[in-house]
Structure 1
Amino acid sequence: MDPGSHLTFDLGYYRAVLKHRALFRPDAALLADAAARADVKGVVGGPEEVFARSMARLSTVEVKTGAQGEIRRNCAVVK
């Protein structure tokens, strides 16, 4: 999602977020919260293996489809 490394899956996007060049509002909002900003800085400043491990863990999350899940306009509101 960043033009500099569009063919690879790396930390380039988060580096762009720290430079206030985020593509998505929720990613830009990471800088508004001190704890989230520290997390992003920690990931960007740390070894790439940490990022790779976190992405591998995220890949184990099962996506709910069909009747199992729901799409919300406001994530905080359950219908």
Structure 2
Amino acid sequence: MDLGSFRTFDLGYYKLLLKQRGIFWSDAALTTTGATKEKIEPLVYGLLEVFFNEFGCSMEKLGRVEVKPGEEGDIRRHCAGVN
């Protein structure tokens, strides 16, 4: 997501988030409150292994979010906007 590491997954994007240079508003929102920023900074500036472990756990958690069926859900026709 950042030009410096377009072929790898590393901390570059998250370091940009902390500098308020994120791409997605949902990601940038993680750095706008003290509570979430306090959790992110140690991961970004700490050991890479710890970050990867926490990221993996968050992806597992996200994978448990259920898809809303039928009329309850909404599939975007264009990712940049709401239908």
- Across the aligned residues of Structure 1 and Structure 2, the Cα RMSD in angstroms comes to 2.5
Unaligned residue ranges in structure 2 (runs of 5+): 77-83
Moved over 6 A (4+): none
Unaligned residue ranges in structure 1 (runs of 5+): 74-79
How far is 1:21 from its partner? 0.6
How far is 1:18 from its partner? 0.8
Whether 1:35 aligns to 2:35 is: yes
- Report 1 or 2 for greater relative contact order, CA contacts < 8 Å, sequence distance ≥ 6: 1
Identical aligned pairs, as a percentage? 38
TM-score, structure 2 as length reference: 0.68
- 1:48 aligns with 48
- 1:7 aligns with 7
How far is 1:32 from its partner? 1.4
Structure that is richer in helix per residue? 2
Structure 2 Cα separation of the partners of residues 13 and 72 of structure 1 = 26
Aligned pair count reads: 72
TM-score, structure 1 as length reference: 0.71
Structure 2 Cα separation of the partners of residues 71 and 9 of structure 1 = 29
